[in-house]
C-alpha cells in the first residue's frame, strides 16, 4: 500500500485554511485517493481490534471509533466549505461570462461539479433574462432534457450568456420573426402555399381564411441555410423551439424566416 499522506492533523489544517481564507485552497490532486486510503487503514485497524477481548483492545476500539467519526465530520465540513466556494465561483462565471475564472484549485471531480452547475445556470439565465431583454416571455426547455442522450447536441449548443447589450441580436430581427409568428397564427396560408396555388382567386382566399384549419397540415417546405452569426432560440407556429444556432451550422428553415435571416446577415443560402 502506498504511504498515507493524510492524517487527522492534516485534515484539521485543510479545514482551518478553507475557513480562514476566501479563495478555494489548492489541494493535492490525489487528495481523495489519500483520504480513502487513510480511512481504509483506520477501518482495517478497527476490524482487527474487534476480535480482541482485552481491556486495552476495548480502549483502542473506542479511540479508533472516535477518530473515524472525527475524520468524517471534518471531511463533511471541508466538502461543504469548498462546495459553497465553487458555487459562488460558478455564479460569478455565469453572471459575468468571464473567461478568466480560475479553476486551478479545483479537484477533477469538483471541476465536473462546477461545469454541470454552470450549464444549468447559463440555461436558465439564457431562457429568462435574454428573452426579457428583447421583450419576450421566458422560454425554458425542461432542464431534465439536458441530461438525456438525445439532447447532447442541444447541450453543446448552449453558449455562455450575453453580457453586453450590443451582443444581443438586433431587436428589429427578433421583432420581425415575432411578426412572422403572429402572422402564421392568423393567416393559414403561407408563402409556399400561395406559390403552389397561383390561380386561386382573392375571393376564395378570403373565404379560406375564415374556415378553421383541419387538424392535420402538410409539412411546410424548408430551405437550407448556413448560419454566419449566432441566432437565439425562437418558437414557430408549430409550437416547437428552434435554435439557438451557432456560426457555421447548416440548418433547414422555413422560407420566410430563412429569407429574413439572410437579409439581416445572420445566415447565407447554401
Find the CATH number of the domain harbouring 257: 3.40.5.50
Beta-carbon contacts of 232 under 8 Å, excluding residues fewer than 6 positions away, are: 126, 130, 169, 174, 243, 244
Domain annotation covers residue 137 = no
Q: 64 in a domain, yes or no?
A: yes
Q: How many domains does the chain have?
A: 2
pLDDT value for 178 = 55
| Predicted pLDDT of residue 150 | 38
- Asked if 173 and 269 sit in the same domain, the reply is yes
Q: Is residue 241 part of a domain?
A: yes
DSSP states of 203-232: HHHHHHHTSPPPS--PPPP-EEEEESS-B-
Domain-embedded: residue 157: no
Determine, yes or no, domain membership for 230: yes
Choose one of 80, 95, 110: the last residue of a domain. 110
What pLDDT score was predicted for residue 151? 39
Flag whether 224 is in a domain.
Answer: yes
Print the domain residue range for 255.
169-198+220-270
Confidence (pTM): 0.52
Using CA atoms, how far apart are residues 142 and 145, in angstroms rounded to an integer?
6
Q: CB–CB of 96/163 below 8 Å?
A: yes
Structure-model confidence comparison of residues 6 and 53, the more confident one: 6
Q: Where do the H-state alpha helices sit in 126-225?
A: 131-133, 152-157, 171-186, 191-196, 202-209
Q: Which of 143-152, 155-164, 207-216 has the lowest mean pLDDT?
A: 155-164
Asked if 126 and 154 touch (Cβ cutoff 8 Å), the reply is: no
Cell of 108: 477533477
Q: How confident is the model at residue 120 (pLDDT cuts 50, 70, 90)?
A: very high
Band (59; pLDDT cuts 50, 70, 90): confident
Confidence of residue 153 (pLDDT cuts 50, 70, 90): very low
Residues 6 or more apart in contact with residue 168 via CB below 8 angstroms? 130, 133, 134, 162
Residue 82 lies in a domain: yes
Between 236 and 132, residue with greater pLDDT = 132
Q: How far apart are CA 269 and CA 228, in angstroms?
A: 10
Among candidates 166, 147, 163, which has minimal Cα distance to 155? 147
For residue 97, what is the domain's CATH number?
1.20.58
Residue that is last in its domain, among 95, 110, 125:
110
Q: Is the pLDDT of residue 91 over 80?
A: yes
Clarify whether residues 178 and 269 are in a common domain: yes
End position of a domain, from candidates 66, 88, 110:
110
Residue 135 lies in a domain: no
Amino acid at each position: 500500500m502506498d504511504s498515507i499522506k493524510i492524517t487527522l492533523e492534516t485534515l484539521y489544517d485543510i479545514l482551518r485554511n478553507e475557513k480562514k481564507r476566501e479563495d478555494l485552497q489548492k489541494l493535492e490532486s490525489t487528495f481523495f485517493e489519500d483520504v480513502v486510503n487513510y480511512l481504509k487503514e483506520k477501518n482495517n485497524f478497527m476490524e482487527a481490534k474487534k476480535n480482541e477481548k482485552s481491556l486495552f483492545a476495548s480502549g483502542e476500539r473506542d479511540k479508533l471509533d472516535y477518530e473515524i467519526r472525527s475524520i468524517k465530520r471534518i471531511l463533511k465540513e471541508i466538502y461543504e466549505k469548498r462546495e459553497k466556494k465553487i458555487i459562488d465561483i460558478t455564479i460569478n462565471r455565469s453572471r459575468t461570462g468571464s473567461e478568466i475564472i480560475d479553476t486551478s484549485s479545483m479537484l477533477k471531480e469538483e471541476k465536473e461539479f462546477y461545469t454541470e452547475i454552470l450549464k444549468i445556470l447559463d440555461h436558465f439565465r439564457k431562457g429568462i433574462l435574454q428573452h426579457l431583454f428583447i421583450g419576450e416571455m421566458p422560454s425554458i426547455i425542461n432542464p431534465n432534457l439536458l441530461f438525456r442522450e438525445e439532447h447532447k447536441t442541444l447541450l453543446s449548443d448552449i453558449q455562455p450568456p450575453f453580457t453586453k447589450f450590443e451582443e444581443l441580436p438586433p431587436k428589429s430581427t427578433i421583432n420581425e420573426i415575432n411578426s412572422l409568428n403572429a402572422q402564421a397564427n392568423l393567416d393559414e396560408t403561407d408563402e409556399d402555399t400561395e406559390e403552389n396555388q397561383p390561380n386561386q382567386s382573392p375571393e376564395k382566399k378570403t373565404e379560406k381564411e375564415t374556415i378553421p384549419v383541419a387538424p392535420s397540415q402538410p409539412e411546410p417546405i424548408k430551405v437550407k441555410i448556413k448560419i454566419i452569426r449566432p441566432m437565439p432560440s425562437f418558437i414557430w407556429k408549430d409550437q416547437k423551439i428552434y435554435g439557438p444556432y451557432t456560426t457555421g451550422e447548416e440548418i433547414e428553415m422555413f422560407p420566410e424566416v430563412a429569407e429574413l435571416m439572410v437579409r439581416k446577415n445572420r445566415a447565407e443560402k447554401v
